[in-house]
Amino acid sequence: MIHAMHCTTGGEYDLKETRTGKTDKCYSSVTSYLKEYLNINNIHSIFKMPETKRQDLFFQILKTVDIPPLQLAKYLRITINRA
């Protein structure tokens, strides 16, 4: 019984996620930039913006913050077309 518990512990919480970058540190840089640039307190308010506004932010952030485009698109919850 104890052996069975050790064999299965933790496996039930494994989530399959698509990795788009090597680190998540860039997300804090984007969050800080958005809070300052948009003068907002709650970062979740950007997700209520229309997708076109978030796409405009996408290009503005890419010019300023060092972040891979795919990670930024995932952060802003927008789809980008790969060429």
Q: What is the pTM of this model?
A: 0.68
Write out the DSSP string of the chain: -HHHHHHHTTGGG-------SS-SHHHHHHHHHHHHHHT-S-GGGGGGS-HHHHHHHHHHHHHHS---HHHHHHHHT------
The owner of tokens 């299965």 is 8
Asked whether residue 15 carries a pLDDT value surpassing 60, the answer given is: no
The residue type at 71: Q
pLDDT (tens digit, 9 = 90+) per residue, 30-68? 999 999 988 988 889 999 999 999 999 999 999 999 899
Q: Which two tokens stand for residue 8?
A: 């299965």
Asked whether residue 19 carries a pLDDT value surpassing 80, the answer given is: no
